[in-house]
């Protein structure tokens, strides 16, 4: 798990550290009997398990929201294609063509002409190629990331459902 959820997991007890481990170490200095220590460690393990499960559920919910958003965009395009207005039907294609021409023109100009500020040209070129062109390709051909994450989300949901039974 990466990003924000990974950091939360590490903070709460994952990756060999975190607050749960620190609480355990502090409690060891105050809890004296073996029975108390065993009971406390059991509670900490339960808490760690609960945090891990809730983190997985949160990740699955985030992924579900992402997939619903993508589905909504595709449904909007299907509705646009059913209209009688030619411009509305083809708007996405016009937009894709416009940004493809802008990106290609900029790439050509940045490559074959004298550039005043090469660092800015590289930044803008990276933006055009990394976002605009990639978004156009992902819209028309689908995102491999979405398919992969969808499978992960389904697996997480199935594991959570199995644990609840």
What is the model's pLDDT at position 143? 63
Our CA dihedral for 151, 156, 157, 158, rounded to 10 degrees, sits at: 90
**Hey, what are 31's tokens?**
């809890």
What is the model's pLDDT at position 144? 60
What is the model's pLDDT at position 15? 46
Distances (CA, A) of 117 to 107, 110, 114, 129: 14, 10, 9, 18
The dihedral of CA 153, 158, 159, 165: what is its sign? positive
- In whole angstroms, what separates CA 79 from the centre of its chain? 27
- Can you tell me which residue has the tokens 């992902």? 138
What is the model's pLDDT at position 142? 66
pTM for this prediction: 0.43
8 A C-beta contact, residue 59 and residue 5: yes
> Quick one: angle between helices 86-112 and 118-127, nearest 10?
150
CA 14 – CA 21 distance, rounded (Å): 9
What is the model's pLDDT at position 21? 66
Could you report the average pLDDT of every consecutive run of 10 residues in the chain (165 residues)? 51 54 69 79 82 84 77 77 85 87 85 82 83 79 64 72 68
């Amino acid at each position: 798990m990466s990003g924000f959820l990974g950091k939360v997991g590490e903070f709460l007890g994952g990756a060999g550290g975190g607050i749960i481990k620190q609480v355990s170490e502090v409690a060891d200095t105050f809890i004296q009997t073996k029975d108390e220590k065993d009971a406390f460690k059991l509670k900490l393990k339960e808490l760690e398990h609960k945090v891990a499960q809730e983190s997985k559920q949160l990740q699955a919910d985030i992924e579900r929201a992402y997939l619903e958003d993508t589905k909504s965009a595709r449904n909007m395009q299907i509705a646009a294609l059913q209209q009688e207005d030619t411009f509305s039907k083809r708007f996405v294609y016009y937009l894709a063509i416009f940004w493809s021409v802008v990106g290609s023109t900029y790439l050509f100009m940045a490559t074959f002409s004298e550039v005043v500020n090469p660092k800015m040209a590289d930044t803008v070129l990276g933006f055009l190629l990394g976002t605009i062109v990639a978004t156009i390709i992902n819209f028309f051909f689908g995102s491999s990331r979405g398919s992969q994450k969808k499978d992960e989300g389904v697996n997480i949901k199935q594991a959570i459902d199995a644990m609840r039974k």
